[in-house]
Structure 1
Amino acid sequence: MTSARRGRPAGRTPQLRIAETVAAELRSRILAGDEDYRLPTQEQLVQDFGVSYPSIREALRILETEGLVTVRRGNVGGAEVHRPDESSAAYHLGLALQGARVTLGDLADGLRLLEPQCARACAERADRAETVVPALTANADACAALVEDGVAFTHTAREFHDLIVSFTPNLTVRYVVSTLVALWSTQEEAWAEALTKRGEYPSADEASEVVRTHRRIVREIAAGRASEAERLYRTHLTATQALVIDRFGDGVVNAAASARSTFGSTPRTRI
């Protein structure tokens, strides 16, 4: 009995090392592949790597915990590939922030430092009239039609912020800030739902003022007035954040809520 127990960890370790090696190779393929990349079947992977089925299954479990694949079991089994995007990044960053007991007020402070710079970057784009301005204008129009519907209005108004960040040319800034924006959007939409249920959501006039501010930001971006676009955006962000911080500011970032809100969304990747 003693020797059998001692033998289990020894037998498990090589299998784990093999699985980690296979997972590393598959991870590289997923990250280097295009949007349509699909993993081979488990049978094909066994043949390709010359390893056992348990090692392949362990490798897939590793990738599943990283959010890179979803393993479907049963008659229609297989592994569905998920390329990392701001949604998955928001979840993992959210875990780190939640573990560090970071408050929503602290997250808001970080966004005020970083997000307005994306508005500046949009205003500095030479092609802003063809790419940035039409999308932002369409969003403002959509928001204007929803001022009587608090939850829908908040969701669409948050998409304005998503768009600003998504048009930021620098990829590093885009992905870092979009991750923080995704975390914040979860909290702001929770705020909207809570106040709507209580009949305390801001009035249609106040929602219309948000639309007017969004249109002013668009005009500054269209005119290429980068400093004014950044200033106006920061002022607007401070005002809208204050409404949420008043209710949730002392709360800790919730990674699980972010996962429910963002996983499965369609990422906006623009250049």
Structure 2
Amino acid sequence: MAKRIRHKELINQHPIMKWTGFAILLIYAFTLIFSLGWALLSSLKEFSDFRENLFGLPKTWMFSNYATAFQALYVPADGRNYTLIYLIINSVMYAGLYTVFPVLANIVVAYACAKYKSKLCEIVKTVVILRMVIPIVGGLASSLTVSKFIGTYDNPLLAAIFQFSPQGAHFLIFLATFQGISNEYMEAARIDGAGHAKIMFSIMLPLARNTIIAVGIMVFIGCWNDWETAMVWFPSYPTLAYGLYRFQFSTGNSISDITLQLTACIIAMIPMLIIFMFFKDKLVGNISMGGLKG
């Protein structure tokens, strides 16, 4: 808290730093909004209009592009064509499983490492950091061989269970969050007779709720946009992101236009945009730790 106050005082003493940072963030926000608006307008154009009128409004508003993209976006697998509805269902299943299991594992292990000191916790933290800094190059072939041997290949549920392990920056985020929560809550709960499980689920997790929601949403969005995992590990369960990846290489006369490809991207983006609108306060707001508003 003291460091944050000194940082604010330093910025207030140097208005140039304040306005420079504001200008950079404003330019960055403009590029994001402009790209989104351009993609939305381009998805409502004819291809000839798109070539001649790259940044202007559509001469004819082609809302039929969405119906065309909805019908054309499919993935052939296992002798059948998976339509957009199936792609969305697979995306929800994949993103949900690969969000719940890893996030839950990170929460449990980070809480244990933050509140219960032991040599094992130090080993876990060291292993997590080493996994982040040591590059694993050329390990895909061996990973596929092991996955097929143990039966997790092309099995999203079983593969997701094997993801129940602490990993990456999300573990460190939860570790810092639980370390920032005062141990006085645990001591008071123990005096009242609460056990370890009750302290964690009834006291600590609610205090870290904002962090959990924010990390969960970021992981879900990352999985929703992940096409490579479905292509390599779950060929029988194509996702919407993988469908978009294939869609850009389509050679049909009606679906190879850039306008229809942008239309398909807008369709895939709508669910994530809705989620962001509902939880934007959790993502951009201050995170509460230790029971006090930060």
| TM-score interval (norm. to shorter) | under 0.3
TM-score by length of 1: 0.23
TM-score by length of 2: 0.22
